[in-house]
Every structure is written in structure tokens, then in C-alpha cells.
């Protein structure tokens, strides 16, 4: 299916969580790759258990018949210059570029609390227009650098970080150039207070990567009301795979296809594998997306 404009990949977080090693930390990478391939996924995003050498990574993935989709990069443009960031990203950028990746997942971790024992309402924020502009200018300069190596920056709006809410995403897009792509994450959009389809429509011109994450709205409401941390929210089941929550993925895929999106849909749902068995839920996420993609294709042909 490599010629399909939209391909389905997965993040290894379904098997083991880098931020919470207690969740599947004992599961070997080989298990994730073997099961992911058997389910039908075409590629994986990277996690901490993957090789950091480009050649080793390429050989590993070739052995499973899988592609490297992308990989998270912990950026700190909010706290340092674009030049410093360009120097820091070197090895990771090379790892992605030499493995055929077209996008790099950029997560702003400067001052972020997503992995801390701090309630989400205490996340960092840009308070003034000048702060937004300065951040946007540095980010755009950095994005031009990654794109010069064939890899577009895909900015991941994320709970507990500077860019969390739909308003934050609006400000980010207003203050950055087109070299900065947007990673649309359905689950973080909902948790951040937005309607996924509305945010998708508003910024579809800039979307270059998609994380498909469903939500359990009752858990999200409790997380907000009780001022949970991000990791508490994950442990209590705020997120799940497509088809197991309330997000309208049929509408999301229809919008992406009608706009001519070419790229990956990545199942990425932080859960406790002892509660949500890895293979079962990864399979459910894949089957949901595959059926929607195939259904839309049939309708178009008809």
C-alpha cells in the first residue's frame, strides 16, 4: 500500500510508554514490531527502544518490512535560539532523513509539565503578543533548517505545554511561516478544549502529520475538574484508540481525503497495556481507520 496517499502507522506507546516505563517497559521492541506488522501497520514512529544509528535503524525496520514514519524531537525553542536548536537536532534529523522520513514530530518541552507531578492548569503560557512573535520567528527559522534537509517540522500541540488549546494553535499558526507544519492530534485537541473537526478545518492547509487518538470524555472531565496531572490522566484512561471513544474519525478522514492530504495516520494512544491489551487495542485502531479509508475510497469510485 506504499502508493496510497494516506498510510496507517502506529506509535510504540501502545506497547511501552517512554514517559511511564511502568507501562509496558518490560515489553521488547520486537514484540511491538512483530505484532504491528501482523495487524497491518505499514510503519512505526520511533521510541526510546529503537536504534539511534541510521544504518542500524534501517536494517532493523527492513527486517520487519516496516517503514520509519517519524520520531519525536524534544525541542526547546522557547528557551534558546534557533541556531542552538539547529545544532542540537543534528543527530536526530540525520536519523530521520536517512530513513526516508518526511516529517519530524516537534514537541516543545521547555517549561512543559507533561511528565511532571503538576496539575495541567499550571502549564507554561506565552502571555504577550511579543512573546508569541519571538517564539514564532525562532521556530520558523528552525523549521527552515529541518526542511533544508528534506524533513518538515510537524508541531505537536500537547497537553501541559505552551501550545495546548485551540487558541494556542491559532496563535502559533499566526506567528509562524508555512515552513512550520502542524501535527493534528485528535485526542489532544479534544482534551485541550476544542472540537477536533473545527480545528482540523481551520488549519488543514498546514497539517502535515496526523495522530489518531480517541478519548473517553468522562475521564477527561474528571481530569479537568480534579486538576489531574497529564500522567494521572493517562493512567486513568483519558485516551484510547480510534473506534473506542467518541471522536468522529469518519468525518476527519473525509476532510483529509477531500483536501488531498498525503501522509500518515498514526495510531497513538497512551494507555496501560495491562488494562488495554496492546495487540487487541492496536488491532482495533487499525481496523477502524482501515475500514474508514476503504469505505471512502469505494464511495469515490462509485
Residue 272, pLDDT score: 85
Q: Cα(40)–Cα(64) distance, rounded to whole angstroms?
A: 12
Q: What is the mean pLDDT of residues 183-191?
A: 98
pLDDT tens profile 269-286: 888 888 889 999 999 999
Domain ranges of the chain: 6-301
Q: Cα(255)–Cα(196) distance, rounded to whole angstroms?
A: 11
**Mean pLDDT for the chain?**
94
**Phi/psi of residue 209, each to 5°?**
-160, 150
- pLDDT bracket for residue 16 (50, 70, 90): confident
Q: Both ends of the chain: CA-CA distance in Å?
A: 21
Q: Which one, of 96, 88, 11, lies nearest residue 52 by Cα?
A: 96
Residue 297, pLDDT score: 46
Residue 134, pLDDT score: 98
Pairing of strands 214-215, 239-240: antiparallel
Fold annotation for 6-301: TIM Barrel (3.20.20)
Residue 271, pLDDT score: 87
Q: What is the mean pLDDT of residues 213-242?
A: 96
pTM of the model: 0.95
Q: Copy the grid coordinates of residue 119.
A: 496539575
- pLDDT bracket for residue 299 (50, 70, 90): very low
pLDDT exceeds cutoff 70 at 76:
yes
Amino acid at each position: 500500500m506504499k502508493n496510497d496517499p494516506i498510510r496507517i502507522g502506529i506509535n510504540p506507546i501502545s506497547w511501552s510508554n517512554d514517559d511511564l516505563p511502568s507501562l509496558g517497559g518490560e515489553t521488547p521492541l520486537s514484540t511491538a514490531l512483530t505484532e504491528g506488522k501482523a495487524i497491518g501497520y505499514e510503519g512505526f514512529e520511533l521510541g526510546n527502544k529503537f536504534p539511534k544509528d541510521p544504518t542500524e535503524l534501517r536494517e532493523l525496520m527492513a527486517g520487519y518490512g516496516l517503514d520509519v514514519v517519524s520520531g519525536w524531537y524534544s525541542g526547546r525553542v522557547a528557551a534558546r535560539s534557533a541556531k542552538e536548536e539547529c545544532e542540537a537536532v543534528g543527530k536526530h534529523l540525520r536519523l530521520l532523513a536517512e530513513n526516508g522520513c518526511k516529517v519530524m514530530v516537534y514537541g516543545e518541552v521547555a517549561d512543559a509539565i507533561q511528565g511532571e507531578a503538576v496539575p495541567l492548569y499550571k502549564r507554561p503560557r506565552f502571555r504577550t503578543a511579543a512573546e508569541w512573535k519571538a517564539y514564532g520567528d525562532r521556530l520558523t527559522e528552525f523549521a527552515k533548517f529541518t526542511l533544508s534537509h528534506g524533513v518538515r517540522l510537524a508541531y505537536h500541540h500537547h497537553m501541559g505545554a505552551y501550545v495546548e488549546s485551540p487558541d494556542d494553535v491559532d496563535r502559533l499558526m499566526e506567528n509562524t511561516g508555512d515552513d512550520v507544519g502542524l501535527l493534528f492530534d485528535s485526542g489532544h485537541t479534544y482534551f485541550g478544549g476544542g472540537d477536533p473537526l473545527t480545528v482540523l478545518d481551520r488549519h488543514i492547509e498546514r497539517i502535515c502529520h496526523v495522530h489518531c487518538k480517541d478519548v473517553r470524555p468522562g475521564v477527561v472531565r474528571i481530569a479537568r475538574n480534579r486538576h489531574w496531572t497529564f500522567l494521572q490522566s493517562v493512567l486513568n484512561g483519558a485516551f484510547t484508540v480510534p473506534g473506542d471513544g467518541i471522536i468522529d474519525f469518519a468525518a476527519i478522514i473525509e476532510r483529509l481525503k477531500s483536501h488531498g492530504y498525503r501522509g500518515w495516520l498514526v495510531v497513538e494512544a497512551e494507555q496501560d497495556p495491562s488494562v488495554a491489551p496492546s495487540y487487541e487495542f492496536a488491532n482495533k485502531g487499525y481496523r477502524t481507520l482501515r475500514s474508514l479509508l476503504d469505505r471512502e475510497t469505494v464511495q469515490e469510485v462509485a
